[in-house]
Structures are given as C-alpha cells and as structure tokens.
Amino acid sequence: MSRRRQIYEGKAKILYEGPEPGTIIQYFKDDATAFNAEKRGTINGKGVINNRISEHVFTRLAHIGIPTHFIRRLNMREQLVRQVEIIPLEVVVRNIAAGSISKRLGIEEGDMLPHTLIEYYLKSDELGDPLVAEEHIACFNWASHEEMQDIAAMAIRINDFMCGMFAAIDIKLVDFKLEFGRIFDGDFSRVILADEISPDNCRLWDFNTGEKLDKDRFRRDLGGEEEAYQEVARRLGLLQKDDDGEPGEVLDMSAHRSRLRQSPQKPKK
C-alpha cells in the first residue's frame, strides 16, 4: 500500500490518511519516551513487536465483544484502523501497586491492591497528564456520564480477560493504560477502544522472578528492553526462535495459516 498523507506524529506512532474515508494507517515507531517525553531513546525493533502484540490483543478482545478501532495489520509496522475522535483521557487500570500510585500514596511497589482500581488522567504532556476525578470529566465535558459508564465497564472486562491471558504465560498484569474514541453514525456516537495495547503501556512482571518485561526497563535504565519485549511476544506465540535459541522473526500467523490451508494433505495410512 502506498504511503499517504501524514495526519499526526506522536511519541510512539505516526498516523497516515487511510485508503478509505473513516480509516487511518497507524505506523509503529521504535522511539521510546518516558516521563511525558522528558526522556527519549530508541528500542530497536519495538515498533514491529508492538504492532504484532497489539494486533493479537485487539483481535482477542474483539472475540469477547469489545468494540475496537482495529481493522487489520497491513505489514510489519502498520495497521489499518478506524478513524475515531479520541476522548482526551488516559484510563489506567491497576491491579498491583507500581509507578506513580506508589509514589503518590506511599504504597509499597508490588503490593496487591484491595480491588482493581481505575484512574483517569487528562491527556496533556504540557500539564504532565494530571490525575482527574469523574467530577472534572463531567464539569469540563470531556466525556458524558453514559460514555464514562461504557468506558469503566469495558476497562474492567478488558482487565479480566488480559489478566487471564497473561497469567496463562506466567506474566502478572500489574497495570495498563487504555485510550478510547468516539465513532459516529449520524447524530449518534459510541465509544470504542483505540490506540494500542503492548509492553509500551502495560506493566508486565514475570510471575516467578518478578522480572520487568515492559517499558519500565527503559524508564529505570535497567537495560534489556529489546529482550523483554521479545520475551512477551515469544510467550504469546508471536515470535519464533532460531536454531541457536536466539529470537528470530515475528510470526505472521495469518500468512502461516494460509500456507497451511494451501499445503497438500498427506493421505491417511
């Protein structure tokens, strides 16, 4: 597919005009940022891995009835997605204390929270993405009461599903960030899941060792960012290994399934 007009460039992705009205091409970069873009760097191959992981997660979420902007993956770094009007909120779902909540409330990192906690932050790097209450959201009309009910319900359902998905591959889902957008049908709109889900916006810890398998390795100068992202993809079955045990290419499962369908069947004995 030929490159189209650039619409927007963010910290981790570039958005291009899609091939049809109401669509956008989402390109995943290797750029890494932290602390509202105060820290910048590069994680080699991150865009390829995140594209594949996000496709996998969004596809599975669609299977349980979560409406998303994802249409299909186009290539190693690009997805075709629905164009949405982004709601200016970052929705953070927390299961275990880590990051800013530990600093704000003095909770030991790694402590289980009494129950899953949903927090809302205003999307604004200039203001440092401040924590906001639902009263702020209603007062400034960032989202309606009905939209917030839909967002909270989807966030909890996504959390339940993803906790199980990651637990099955020995990973704890500590917390994660979601973004939502509106799509319109005449005068009516509905809220759907947008952006991405990947180690860029999830905290993922190994169940047995507690090893961090996410962007915290970049934030905290731990090193091994590439290997951590690859390990998540490998456990999800999205990354094969070479004969020497080193990480190999990202698997294109749709192409793999197509080859299997086209392969001649061996006669039964």
Structure confidence by residue, pLDDT tens digits, 201-236: 999 999 999 999 999 999 999 999 999 999 999 999
- Number of other CB atoms surrounding residue 241 within 10 Å: 12
Is the model's pLDDT at 1 over the cut of 90?
Answer: no
pLDDT for the residue 199: 98
For 112-138, letters b (16+ CB in 10 Å) and e give eeeeeeebbbbeeeeeebeebeeeebe
3 falls in which pLDDT band (50, 70, 90)? low
Read off the tokens for 131: 């924590």
Read off the tokens for 139: 């007062």
pTM of the predicted model over 0.85: yes
pLDDT for the residue 269: 37
Q: Which domains does the chain have, with CATH numbers?
A: 6-82 (3.30.200.20), 85-223 (3.30.470.20)
The mean-pLDDT minimum among 20-34, 49-63, 97-111, 251-265 falls in 251-265
Phi-psi region of 36 (alpha: psi -120 to 50; beta: other; left: phi over 0): left
Mean pLDDT of the chain: 90
pLDDT tens column, 82-112: 999 999 999 999 999 999 999 999 999 999 9
256 falls in which pLDDT band (50, 70, 90)? very low
Q: How far apart are CA 91 and CA 122, in angstroms?
A: 9
The mean-pLDDT minimum among 113-127, 144-158, 160-174, 244-258 falls in 244-258
248 falls in which pLDDT band (50, 70, 90)? low
Mean pLDDT of 157-177: 98
pLDDT for the residue 117: 98
CA angle 255–5–88, rounded 5-degree value: 90
Q: Are 193 and 178 in contact (CB under 8 A)?
A: yes
End-to-end CA distance of the chain: 45
Higher pLDDT residue, 186 or 135? 135
